[in-house]
């Protein structure tokens, strides 16, 4: 895909949604970190449902630590992999309280050292809580980047590196959310809704649908 087309795609996604953000509900970097940790293999809707009760009961690392692993489990039982997620959330709270005064560190290295926090989660927190131009490639971004040819790659790391290289600076902070939302609602996995896609004329996908 050439530079000009890429620029047009990103401009159009921006014009359509100038201030995008995550659909996860949170009120602090700590709550965002926990929400992202809980969201692996779960939907944002399912996570929000659980955190609407969990966060009022334990809004900070200190209060969540006080719940204990079983206490956390009680709130997140409806989410897949809740046993290991409760363990990771508890251990993460412990580290935050003991080493960071209960705050979320604004550092990739420190974030990735937390239990259950990988590169993707760190990217989301750095981007969404701290405004870093990081791009967390999930299944939606991977699919949209490959179908459109915006940033094709054989795996999520390749797509992340390609996006970081080809996305102009002015779009870097928000591109992650535009592509996720586009993949979640328009360029859906089974049958993309090309007929109602705002970048249809620019997309280079070979098997477009008329839906």
Residues that constitute the known binding site: 187, 194, 197, 203
User: Minimum distance between the CB of residue 150 and ligand SF4, rounded to whole angstroms?
Assistant: 9
Binding residues for [4Fe-4S] cluster: 187, 194, 197, 203
Nearer to ligand SF4, 111 or 199 (CB): 199
Instruction: Name the site residues for ligand SF4 (rule: CB under 6 A).
Output: 147-148, 186-187, 192-194, 197, 199-200, 203, 205, 208
Percent helix, strand, coil in the chain, to 5, is 60, 0, 40
* Closer CB to ligand SF4, 105 or 183, in the complex: 183
Nearer to ligand SF4, 106 or 200 (CB): 200
Q: How far is the CB of 147 from ligand SF4 (least distance, A)?
A: 4
CB of 197 to ligand SF4, least distance (A): 3
Residue 156 Cβ vs ligand SF4, minimum distance, rounded to whole Å:
18
What's the full length of the chain, in residues?
211
Residues with catalytic annotation?
A: 120, 138
Q: Which long-range contacts (CB under 8 A, 24 or more apart) does 177-180 make?
A: 177/17, 177/20, 177/21, 177/22, 177/128, 178/10, 178/13, 178/14, 178/17, 178/20, 179/13, 179/140, 179/141, 179/144, 179/145, 180/138, 180/140, 180/141
In the chain, the largest separation of any two C-alpha atoms, in whole Å, equals 56
Report CA torsion sign: 49, 50, 53, 56: negative
Residue among 9 and 135 whose Cβ is closer to ligand SF4: 9
φ, ψ of residue 147 to 5 degrees: the values are: -65, -50
């Amino acid at each position: 895909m050439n530079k000009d087309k890429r620029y047009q795609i990103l401009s159009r996604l921006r014009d359509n949604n100038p201030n995008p953000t995550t659909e996860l509900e949170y009120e602090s970097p700590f709550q965002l970190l926990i929400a992202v940790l809980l969201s692996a293999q779960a939907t944002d809707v399912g996570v929000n449902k659980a955190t609407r009760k969990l966060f009022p009961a334990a809004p900070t690392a200190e209060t969540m630590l006080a719940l204990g692993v079983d206490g956390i489990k009680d709130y997140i039982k409806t989410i897949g992999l809740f046993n290991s997620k409760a363990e990771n959330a508890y251990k993460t709270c412990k580290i935050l309280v003991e080493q960071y005064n209960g705050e979320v560190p604004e550092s990739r290295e420190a974030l990735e050292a937390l239990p259950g926090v990988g590169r993707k989660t760190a990217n989301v927190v750095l981007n969404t809580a701290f405004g870093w131009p990081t791009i967390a490639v999930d299944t939606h971004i991977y699919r949209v980047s490959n179908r459109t040819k915006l940033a094709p790659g054989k795996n999520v790391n390749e797509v992340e590196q390609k996006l970081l290289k080809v996305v102009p600076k002015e779009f870097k902070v928000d591109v992650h959310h535009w592509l996720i939302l586009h993949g979640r609602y328009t360029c859906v996995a089974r049958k993309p809704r090309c007929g109602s896609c705002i970048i249809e004329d620019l997309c280079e996908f070979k098997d477009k649908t008329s839906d």
